[in-house]
Structures are given as C-alpha cells and as structure tokens.
Structure 1
Amino acid sequence: MRYFSFILTLFTCFFANAQQVNGIVYNSIAAIENIKIVNLNTKKFTVSNKKGQFTIPAKVNDTLHFSSIFYHEQTLIINASHTNDTLVIELKKINNELEEVVLKEKHMPKLATIEEVETNLHNQLLEDIKNNPHLYGNLNDGGIDFIQVFNMIGKLFKNKNKQQPIQYATYEELISTFENSKILDQFFFKNTLKIQNHQQDLFIQYIEASYIDSKLLQPEKEVYLIEYLVQSAKEFNAIVKAYKEKD
C-alpha cells in the first residue's frame, strides 16, 4: 500500500510539472496575435497566433507575463483551475495620444544677408589660404585656383550629409545571439517559430540573407527581434512547404 502511494505521488508530481496551459488573448474588439507570453519561473516563451491562441508549459503557482509594445503588460499566477480550462486574457491597448502643444512666440535671430555670408566666406578662405597654401594648388599670377577651392567646399558639404551605413548581422553574430539568449532557445524555435532541428541552420542562413540590421541583436531590442523572427519564420516555412509540394 505504501509502495502504491509512493508511485501515485510520483506520477502526480510528474504530470503536474508537465502540464500545458492553453489560452486566448484579446482586446475589447477581437483576438490579437504576436502577444509575448513568458513563464517567469521557467523562462519558457511563446507568442499568440492569428486567433489569439497560445500554449505554454506551466504548473500551479507559476507566473505568466503578457506583453506587447501596443498593449499594457499583465501578469497571471496559475492556479489549479487554470490548468483545466482555457485562459481568457484581455489586454488594454496603449493610447499613444500626444499631449497638447502650446506654441509660444519665440524670438528669432536675425538672418545674415547674402552679402554678409559672401564676405565671411571670402575672409575665411583668404585666412585659410594664408595658413595652408599647400592645400590650394598653384597660384597663377597671384590668383587662386577657384575650381579646386569649390571642389573642396563641395566635399565639405558632402561629408556633412554622409550617413553612417547600416551594419548587417552576420551568421556568427546570429548564432552568438541565440546561444546567449534565455528566450530564443530550442523551445522557441520548435514551438513558436515551428522550425525543426534539421532546418534551424538553414533558417539562420535565411535570416542572414535577409540583411537584418545588427542593431536588432542588442539585448534591449529583443522584443523587436522576436517580431522579426516570427514574421521571417512564416515566410521561411511557406517557402519550404511550397518546395515540398513541388517535389
């Protein structure tokens, strides 16, 4: 009898730890997708689908955290009834209303006239030619090589307007990000992105080929990276499915 009680207790603990919690997330109008749901106890993670549905491993007393950049965050502590029923979570949308802006009359500085600008530029050029004659080429009959001067001025403006190029993430950087993340783990790839083990390396190459901005790999940008990966996984899986059907 004691042995039977021990086995019963063991099975009870096992199934309690292996429970899946199902639910649906909606706002005041309809179900909402791409809501991030995190089990704060186990760090397991998933997102809601197009119908607002989600499934996540959780047991009694675990805390689920619901979040999105468009909705107010919400937490829920799992009790016994939650493991048997479908959770229904309502999120409140964030109203990004701008505060009223009161325009006040501001004193505007007096703008320089064309003559003043030309005079200042002329004086600056003469001073620079005096201090750095080697930068302005040969002087013919006391004159200035104005073509070279204008070219130098043009380069000055071009340098000011030049933007920093986008740094795209490399395959190695993507691998490092996934290995060091507590959320972007195997559970995330298999259950959220629907990417199986034998396809994960190909999917990462697909992400690299899409020229993802390396700024998304920063820890504070992880929410945006997750949204990018979810969308990319849909496209990747659609391509794989179409290829299999073709064969």
Structure 2
Amino acid sequence: MKNKIGIICLIFFTQLIFAQNENRKPLHGQFQNETALVDNGYVFNLNSKTRTFISNQGFFDILAKAKDTLLVSSATFKSRKIVLQDKDFLKPLLVLNLESQTTILNEVIVKGKTEIKPAIPSSQKIVDMEFIDDVQSSPKNRAMPSDGTIENGMDFVRMFKMVSKLFRKDNAEKAESISQLGFADAVSKGVDRYFFTNTLNLKVDEIGLFLDYCENDPKSKTLLKEKDEFMLIDFLITKNEEFKRITNFEK
C-alpha cells in the first residue's frame, strides 16, 4: 500500500514539473563584463523555481518564457534581476552585462617600530599577584548562565535595534524617501549588514539576491507601510529559510 502511494506521489510530482515547464523553452545567453571574464555564479528563475550555473566562459541555458524573472548571483559581480520579454527569445544568444563587485578596504595605519622592554618583577610580587578567573578555574555553566543569556541563541534585542533604524523618523524627508524606495532597496539601505551575514548566515554576494527574492512576495509591499519591526524580522527569517531551501536543492 505504501509503495502504491509513493508511486502515485512521484507521478503527480513529475506531472507538476512538466506542467510548469510546458510553455517554457530553452533560453541561451551569455554574461559579459567590460574588464573581467564572467566565469562563476548561477541564474535562478523565480517563477519556475529552477536554477542553472554560469559556465567558465559566461554562458548559461535555462528554461523560461516571457515575463519570467531571472535573478543572477555571482561572487565577483553584482546581483541582477532581469524580467524577460518576447524579443529576448528571438535572439540566438542573449548577451547581458554584469557590473563588477567593488570591495571597499578599510584604511590600514602602520605605526613606527616600538621597542618593548619586559619588566620582570621580584618573585614575591609574582606570588602576591591576583589573577582573574579563566576557563580552567571557572568553567561556564551552560545550563544556567549567570548573565541570563542563551548560548547559541538569537539576540533579539540586537536584531530589533538593527531593523528598527529602518523606520526611525529623524526627519520627514527621510521617511518620505524610504516610502518611495522598493522593498529590496529600502531594506538594503536601512538594515545593518550584520543582520544578514550573522543572523541570517547569508554571504555578502547573496544579500541582493535574497532581497530580490523577498520583494517578489506581495507581502513585502505592505511591510514598509506597516512599520512593524517584529513583523519585518519574522518575514525576513521565514523567507531566508525558503531561500536557502530553493538555492540549495540542486547542490
């Protein structure tokens, strides 16, 4: 009985996949850059939830149709969202440009050489010296920490502070500019990058792709108007779980 149910589910799932791709046809394309060779990354079809990798010469092939939204992600180039049109399928090769990812380096200050003179106290001073607790002398109580924190747990206070500045009204002009931006741009500029890289465990080059994925959800259009920090946090965490399942299912 269980085998019959499994076979029925497999047939239904296969038919569903074929139904999604029934009206789609192969799209052949190549990504280019003015200064560097595009040789890594992947193309993700948001509508059919399929993905393909970019070859070492920038070529890609994916099933798509007009009005499908493609998201491009690469470690060395900026993420890009493309809405396909009918004319794109008339070309034997669709050539698209990607912008280089610019990395801003922190300023490094090199100071002059400093001579270190060790001070050796007397043996009595060493005996009388007081030492602070270390890991060996005062092991941490993981069951009931003294500071009340939860080990490996989410710091919701810090998360709230990182997200709340998106809705903070320092002046009327700033509030108006946020309402005019799209969801991806507003969250990217208003939420601390630490939230994406540490709380959501996203790579830097995945942040733009993730926000574009969130913006495709109709719910994202109301979140900025409601200005509810907790709803935004819950939305981003939920979409992050979906995003990782989708982007990892072909690995």
Question: TM-score if structure 2 supplies the norm length?
Answer: 0.39
Please identify which structure carries the higher helix content: 1
The structure that has the greater radius of gyration is 1
TM-score, L = length of structure 1: 0.40
